[in-house]
Structure formats: structure tokens, C-alpha cells
């Protein structure tokens, strides 16, 4: 028996990186998959084909996670297209790094909107469905940076810390309705997001990791699979670090 047979999941930002691995891992485990992307249209179309080969329903949508009414529309369309929604993975995220001295209002607003407001957008839109079916698993991608802060990432760290507060509040509000809300805090994961960093910064991150390697998107997807499935049925309001021991 597959871990997610008969379930439907929405993964935001699945055209590459961690979201891509989560979508594939969930499909492998029998879930129907809806996923979003913003600019990577070709990769989105390729992923839809790849996922269909697992014999599940798969549908990609071009949708801006930071847009409230677009997200409301997206969730309604997903439920019409795939029939239900059981698992919500808020993965879409961006960085716009610079020291606070140089961080303008636009850089602040953009990162907060894409990373944090997006989580409110999807949860708010999916809530009625989760309440009606008396179940739902919400998984939000935060970061170790949201726990400890990071120079040059005040906007990103604030957005990720906000996600932790949101995740725990939703767990408290909705636990009695069997709706679980958890977060994953990855450390240094090798994706296009971290490709942008210079080699010296990357080496200093690696040196600080007890397991002495960067994580892979699959390392994070394994954790998401656990949180999505009934294997974590008694876990809510938690932040699971997938960081090779970096923040211990
Ligand atoms: P990535 O490789 O840069 O991929 C980001 C994904 O988000 C892409 O699919 C992108 O779609 C999508 N996206 C960006 N803005 C969007 C928007 N406005 N609406 C919809 N989709 C949007 O990033 P990643 O490294 O896989 O990171 C995934 C998540 O994990 C993020 O929330 C990130 O903050 C978190 N995280 C990552 C690390 C790490 O070390 N990599 C560490 C901690 C936390 P397009 O391709 O269409 O732009």
C-alpha cells in the first residue's frame, strides 16, 4: 500500500528544486498532484508529463503565490479538476539578499509577499474544504534562517520566522478539526536558490554542518512525505529541521 494512495496534494513552486522533488515523491506514493510555478512554463509542462507516468492525476498551473485572488481561484480550480484536496505544501519562495542598509522597500515587500503572504493565501482558500472533510495536512517550508536569523537576509528571515508563527497558530486553531499544520526548516540544500551563493559562502555553510554535506531536495521531500502521510497523524504545530545538524 502506498503512503498517499487516494490523496490529493497541491505543491506550490514545483518547477524545480525542493518543490519538484516533493511533487515526484508524493506521486510515487500514489497521490494525485496539483502544482504551481510562475516563470518556468516549459519545466512546468515537463513535470506534468513526468508525474502522469506514475499513473496518477497530475496538473500544473501557472499561478502567482503572492496573489490572493489568483490563489483563491487556483484552489477552486484544483478541487474541480482533481476532485479534492487533502495536502497543501507551501513551498514557493524567493530570496532578494542584501544588507539592511541597501534593502529597499520593494525588496522587503516582494519577499514577504511571495514567502509569507502566499502561505496565508493558500491556507485561507483551502480552509473551507479542510473543515468540511474534517482533515487536512498543511506543510509550510520555512528555513533555519527563520529560527536563527542571517546577516544579509533580514527580509527572508522575517518571512520564514513569520511562517513558523503562522504554522503554530493554525495548528492551535484547527487541531480539533483534525487539520494538522507543520513546518519544515531546511538548512543548506543544493538547488538553484543556493547556486547563486559564492563558493566561499557555500564552503562556510558546509563546514558548519555536522553531517559535512549540503542536503539534497530529496532529503527535504522525505520529511514532507512523512508530514503528509498518516505516519505523522499525531504531529502538529512542529518545525522539523532538515539541516544535517547545522542548527543544534
Ligand atoms: P528554487 O529552486 O529557487 O525554486 C523555487 C520555486 O518557487 C520555483 O518552482 C519557482 O517557480 C517558485 N516560485 C517562485 N516565486 C513564485 C511565485 N510568486 N509564485 C509561484 N511560484 C513561485 O528554491 P528551492 O531551493 O527549491 O526552495 C524551495 C523552498 O524551500 C523555498 O520556500 C525556500 O525558501 C525553502 N528553503 C530552501 C533552502 C535551500 O537551501 N535551498 C533552505 C531553506 C529553505 P518558477 O521556476 O516558475 O520561478
Averages of pLDDT over runs of 10 residues in the chain (248 residues) are 97 98 98 98 98 98 98 98 98 98 98 99 98 98 98 98 99 98 98 90 90 97 99 98 97
**φ, ψ dihedrals at 181, nearest 5°:** -140, 115
User: How much distance in Å is there from the Cα of 132 to the middle of ligand 1?
Assistant: 30
- Nearest to residue 78, comparing CAs of 143, 13, 129? 129
Q: Is 196 inside a domain boundary? A: yes
Using CA atoms, how far residue 238 sits from 6, 157, 198, in Å, is: 25, 18, 32
- Mutational pocket test of ligand 1: of 38, 116, 240, the residue with most ligand atoms within 8 Å of the beta carbon: 38
**Alpha-carbon torsion (117, 155, 157, 162), positive or negative:** negative
- What does the alpha-carbon distance between residue 90 and residue 158 come to, in Å, rounded to a whole number? 16
- Nearest to residue 89, comparing CAs of 14, 169, 144? 14
Q: Which amino acids bring their CB within 6 angstroms of ligand 1?
A: 12-19, 36-40, 64-66, 91-94, 114, 141, 143, 186, 188-189, 191-194
* Residue 79: CATH number of its domain: 3.40.50.720
Q: Is 247 inside a domain boundary? A: no
Domain count, the chain: 1
Q: Please report where in the chains the cell 563546514 appears, as a residue.
A: 207
pLDDT of amino acid 205: 83
pLDDT of amino acid 239: 99
User: How much distance in Å is there from the Cα of 198 to the middle of ligand 1?
Assistant: 19
Closest-lying ligand 1 atom to the alpha carbon of residue 14: 9
Q: Is 246 inside a domain boundary? A: no
User: How much distance in Å is there from the Cα of 243 to the middle of ligand 1?
Assistant: 17
Quick check: is 37 catalytic? no
Return all residues near 201 (Cβ < 8 A) that are at least 6 apart: none
Task: Give the structural domain span for 224.
Answer: 8-241
Q: Is 18 inside a domain boundary? A: yes
Q: Is 42 inside a domain boundary? A: yes
**pTM of the full predicted structure?**
0.98
Amino acid at each position: 500500500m502506498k503512503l498517499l494512495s487516494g490523496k490529493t496534494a497541491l505543491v506550490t513552486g514545483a518547477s524545480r528544486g525542493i518543490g519538484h522533488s516533493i511533487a515526484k515523491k508524493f506521486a510515487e506514493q500514489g497521490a494525485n498532484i496539483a502544482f504551481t510555478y510562475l516563470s518556468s512554463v516549459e519545466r512546468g509542462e515537463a513535470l506534468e508529463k513526468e508525474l502522469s507516468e506514475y499513473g496518477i492525476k497530475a496538473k500544473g498551473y501557472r499561478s502567482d503565490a503572492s496573489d490572493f485572488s489568483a490563489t483563491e481561484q487556483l484552489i477552486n480550480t484544483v478541487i474541480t479538476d482533481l476532485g479534492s484536496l487533502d495536502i497543501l505544501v507551501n513551498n514557493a519562495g524567493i530570496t532578494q539578499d542584501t544588507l539592511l542598509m541597501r534593502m529597499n522597500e520593494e525588496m522587503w515587500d516582494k519577499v514577504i509577499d511571495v514567502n509569507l503572504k502566499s502561505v496565508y493565501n493558500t491556507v485561507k482558500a483551502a480552509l473551507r474544504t479542510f473543515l468540511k472533510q474534517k482533515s487536512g495536512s498543511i506543510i509550510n517550508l520555512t528555513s533555519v534562517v527563520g529560527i536563527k536569523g542571517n546577516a544579509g537576509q533580514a527580509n527572508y528571515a522575517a518571512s520564514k520566522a513569520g511562517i513558523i508563527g503562522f504554522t503554530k497558530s493554525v495548528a492551535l486553531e484547527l487541531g480539533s478539526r483534525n487539520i494538522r499544520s507543520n513546518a519544515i526548516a531546511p538548512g543548506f540544500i543544493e538547488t538553484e536558490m543556493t547556486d547563486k551563493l559564492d563558493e566561499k559562502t557555500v564552503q562556510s555553510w558546509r563546514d558548519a554542518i555536522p553531517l559535512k554535506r549540503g542536503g539534497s531536495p530529496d532529503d527535504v521531500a522525505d520529511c514532507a512525505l512523512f508530514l503528509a502521510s498518516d505516519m505523522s497523524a499525531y504531529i502538529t504545530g512542529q518545525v522539523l529541521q532538515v539541516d544535517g545538524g547545522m542548527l543544534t
